[in-house]
């Protein structure tokens, strides 16, 4: 996981909607950042995608974490 934040140091999640149901929380929004393999935050390497997250909690512990996002824009930048 640390490697991911090294490649996308300005990674951000912007939540637009959050719903709670029982022990589950679901959030919808966008995720994005700048692909920076050499530490440079270049404008042409910015990406952003729609995303959704689902978390389940039991006894005050996170028991499940799911992320739904199409990371193809980031993969395309990594292939360049």
pLDDT at 1 over 70: no
Tell me: the pLDDT tens digits for 34-64?
999 999 999 999 999 999 999 999 999 999 9
- The confidence score (pLDDT) of residue 62 equals 96
Cα gap 38→49, rounded to integer Å? 22
Q: Which domains does the chain have, with CATH numbers?
A: 2-79 (3.10.450.50)
What is the average pLDDT across 63-70? 96
Cα gap 41→45, rounded to integer Å? 7
Q: What is the DSSP-derived secondary structure letter of residue 43?
A: G
With beta carbons less than 8 A apart as the criterion, state whether 69 and 49 touch: yes
This model's pTM is above 0.85:
no
């Amino acid at each position: 996981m640390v490697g991911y934040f090294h490649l996308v140091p300005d990674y951000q999640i912007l939540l637009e909607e959050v719903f709670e149901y029982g022990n589950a929380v679901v959030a919808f929004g966008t995720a994005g950042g700048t692909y920076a393999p050499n530490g440079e935050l270049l404008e042409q390497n910015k990406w952003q995608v729609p995303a959704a997250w689902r978390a389940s909690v039991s006894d005050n512990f996170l028991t499940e974490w799911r992320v739904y996002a199409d990371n193809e824009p980031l993969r395309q930048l990594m292939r360049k």
